[in-house]
Amino acid sequence: MRSSIWVAAFLIASGGAIAGAEPPIPADVNVVTPDAALPAPLAGYAGRWSGMWIGAGDRLPHILIVEKISPESFSAVYAWGDSQGEYGSLKAGSRRITGTVADGKLSAKLGQASVVYILKDDGTIAGTFTNARGFESKATLKKQKS
């Protein structure tokens, strides 16, 4: 029993999902190799990233797959798992999003909400989700092998 608690604590601390539905990914995902002229920091966004949105007593598994990126815009699959928090009732789903690239950041609208992703020097992405009422969730996403 103690080892189970330790493993669960480790997974939460490391951003791993421990329960609930895995975020669904469309079958037609297609990550396009970035143009060779694209600056390396922007090209680094391409691919599959996973982590956990955490905020206000809730945890939500998250996968971001940046399919295409240019100096001005990006397109991606934005996927989430079942809510794992005390207030959560959100069920797993996914959608394609498009957004802008400015100052090394990816930004997109999700209806009345918005997301911003910043590629950090340690190779992770820091994500911020903000809803229409100003509620924020934060995530650290790690690159996944294809």
pLDDT tens per residue, range 64-99: 999 999 999 999 999 999 988 766 678 899 999 999
Which residue bears the tokens 């391409």? Answer: 46
Q: What share of the chain is helix, strand, coil (3-state, %, to 5)?
A: 10, 45, 45
> What pTM was computed for the model?
0.84
Spatial distance between the Cα atoms of 40 and 29, rounded to a whole number of angstroms: 22
Spatial distance between the Cα atoms of 46 and 8, rounded to a whole number of angstroms: 30
* Domain 20-143, CATH homologous superfamily name and number: Quinohemoprotein amine dehydrogenase alpha subunit, domain 2 (2.40.128.120)
Q: Where are the domains of the chain?
A: 20-143
Spatial distance between the Cα atoms of 142 and 119, rounded to a whole number of angstroms: 10
Name 119's bridge partners. 125
